[in-house]
Chains A and B, each alone.
Chain A
Amino acid sequence: MEAVLTRKRVLKVCALLLAVLLVLGVVAVSVGAVPIPLGRVLRALVGSTTALSVQDELIVFSIRLPRILLAMLVGAALGVAGAGYQALLRNPLADPYVLGVSGGAALGAIISLALAERVTVATPVAAFLGAALTIAVVYFLGQRGEQLSPYTLLLAGIITASFLSAVITFLMNFLSGRDLRGMAFWLMGDMSNPPPLDLLFWLFLLILGAILAVFMLANNLNLLLAGEPEALQLGVNVRRTKLIVYLAASLATGVAVSVSGAIGYVGLLVPHLVRLLFGSDYRLLVPASALVGAVVLLVADTLARTVIAPTELPVGAVTAVVGAPLFIYLLRRPRFAAAAGSKE
């Protein structure tokens, strides 16, 4: 199965995944707490203005569609960020939150919720600022000899994440009288508040940019995984690769977490799923992780809002319930175990 990767195969797989994503997107738009016939939804999607009633149009285009697009975007961002971090840290257990980005975003969110009680628009912005600050701090702590060292970076990230978690716990206690219901929700992952479509478009550009940056360095990452001195000797600009991948993956994570909270398991598992299905070459892993991430989160969010409608489950609960057993299953597969344990 491990044939040489060709451009054609990458395009074929991506086209297939994109098709799956679009089909699932259409399905997702037509299911929800309020039943709306698929036929009408389809007609409305292609431009008919008479297919749906006023309320149904509102539901499909202003409630479901932004949420579905957000789920796809966040899923893609987390999938690629996870793949990027796994290569950067040379660790199959890395996920997008291990370097503290989600902690920083959470801290930004909680501070904004505590201060600006009237304004909620500020919360994602504050969250992103918190994430950006954390990215910078961990970057400086993770240096060793003028470049990022996976070992030092991982340590710096874990320590920072712990510290931020402690600060957040302290603040939540300190502010326990205030209205922090929204915060608890956010910490679990909350897709119920997608930004409006025009803002979504900018988020799409940002995340696409980050994904492209990682994709362009995909072959570098392949070589980096064989060891840094080896990669250097094979001609890879290791220092620049690590820096760009760190920034791109962290920014994608920061954006994702700022708008939807910290949804777990997606960033960790999607790259492994893709490896299982399509192999470990990052030239395919990166775009496939984006598309599979989008699919996975779309399915999870759709389930979250339809399984016991009208009650909406937090999407982080769905990803955990499905993700944890899946992860255990993956761990036991011989290939995974062979790769993870091969240090002889």
Chain B
Amino acid sequence: MNAPLVRLEARRISYTYPDAAGRGEPFRLQPLSFAVHAGELLAVVGPNGSGKSTLLKLVSGLLMPETGAVLLDGRPLATLNLRARARQVAVVQQESPLFFPISVLAFVLQGRYTYLHPLGFESEDDVRIARQVMATTRTGHFAHRLVQELSGGEKQRVLLARALAQQPKLLLLDEPTLHLDIAYQVELLRLVRSLARKEHYGVVLVTHELNLAGEFADRALLLHQGRLVRAGALAEVFARELLEEIFQTELDVFIHPETGRPRVVVHAAAATETGGEPPSKLSPPQ
């Protein structure tokens, strides 16, 4: 049996932000390594400020790692030019404000940029691919509406469509569910997961929603203050004491009897009020 293709491999990558803006120590992401395989959805979780976004920027090429290297399908990211990189990695992130009217179709077609030659116009193939990804993300019926007029959930799907139009091998999602209603959150992630399986994408999902990560991811990375604390199967990462240390709050982790997926449940009342013990100190990483 063929081992699944390694879409993304990060080898001991680290990064230090140049300026702490007077906060003392500049933020540093400590060297870490991990891999993502084709068809796999890796969740990156951790509290705010743990370095999740930094990690994503290193993987997407927005930042250059201080140490180590990022490899896409075995090739170092640093050796790819911008266009080649855009054909490998696509990012779905929070939408920047748009200042001029643009239709959904034109927006999605932006994903085809790397396939055009300079001064080029989109070919019929490009339009066909755009329509395909819009069908997949169920955004086809508002192809001619303005992106500005869409709801939050619709916009996220359009952002996903644009990313898919790049025909990447690796899909990176940065908090894609932030402003979505729960139905849309579920719909989006179901879509992403099925795409990962069908199209053999590697998917990295950065989220602070532990339960979404638990429900949809295959593996997870847990970050804390710039360090990779735990990586691996969900059962390993979603360990109660570990999560309590990292997130500094009492919680329980239940495993769903049929799916085997973890669910994190918080307490309404603190344990000390009911006579229990506060969470213990964090153990050093291995």
Contact = CB atoms under 8 A, between A and B. Distances in A.
Q: A and B bound?
A: yes
A340 B99 CA distance: 5
Q: Which of A10, A86, A229 has the most CB of B within 10 A?
A: A229
Given A226-B98, A226-B110, A232 B62 contact: yes
A335 B101 contact: yes
Main secondary structure of the interface of B (DSSP, over half): mixed
B60 A339 contact: no
Contacts of B109: 4
B102 interface: yes
A219 interface: yes
Contacts of A340: 99
A341 to B, nearest CB: 9
Contacts of B120: 219
A162 interface: no
B100 A338 contact: no
Given A216-B119, A222-B110, A233-B60, A2 B100 contact: no
B101 A339 contact: yes
B45 interface: no
Given A4-B109, A4-B127, A233 B62 contact: yes
A323 interface: no
B99 A339 contact: yes
B198 interface: no
A211 to B, nearest CB: 14
Contacts of A225: 98-100, 102
A195 interface: no
Interface string B83-127: 101110111010111111111011101110110101111100001
Interface string B196-213: 000000000000000000
Given A233-B86, A234-B166, A338 B106 contact: no
A90 interface: yes
Given A338-B146, A339-B148, A91 B96 contact: no
Interface in A219-259: 219, 222-223, 225-230, 232-237
B149 interface: yes
A12 B215 CA distance: 53
- Give the interface residue-count category, chain B: 35 or more
A342 interface: yes
Contact of A229 (B62, B101, B105, B110): B62
A332 interface: no
Contact of A236 (B82, B121, B166): B82
Q: Which of B99, B109, B111 has the most CB of A within 10 A?
A: B99
Nearest to A2: B103
Interface string B56-71: 0000111000000000
Nearest to B96: A227
Interface residues of A, number: 40
Contacts of B190: none
B147 to A, nearest CB: 8
B149 A338 contact: yes
Nearest to A344: B152
A173 interface: no
Interface stretch (A27-35, A67-75, A275-283): A275-283
Contacts of B106: 2, 4-5, 281
Contact of A223 (B97, B110, B118): B110
Contacts of A222: 110
Q: Which of A230, A236, A344 has the most CB of B within 10 A?
A: A230
B75 interface: no
A118 interface: no
B83 A226 contact: no
Interface string A292-328: 0000000000000000000000000000000000000
A273 to B, nearest CB: 13
B96 A230 contact: yes
A343 interface: yes
Contact of B99 (A1, A2, A10, A91): A91
B98 A4 contact: no
Nearest to A229: B62
B144 interface: yes
16 contacts: A4-B122, A6-B121, A86-B99, A216-B119, A219-B116, A219-B118, A222-B110, A233-B90, A235-B83, A235-B166, A236-B82, A283-B121, A338-B101, A342-B98, A342-B148, A343-B97
Given A4-B122, A5-B122, A234-B113, 14 more contacts: A5-B106, A5-B121, A7-B121, A227-B95, A227-B96, A227-B97, A233-B86, A233-B89, A233-B91, A235-B82, A236-B113, A275-B101, A339-B99, A339-B101
Interface of A: 1-2, 4-7, 10, 86, 90-92, 215-216, 218-219, 222-223, 225-230, 232-237, 275, 280-281, 283, 335, 338-340, 342-344
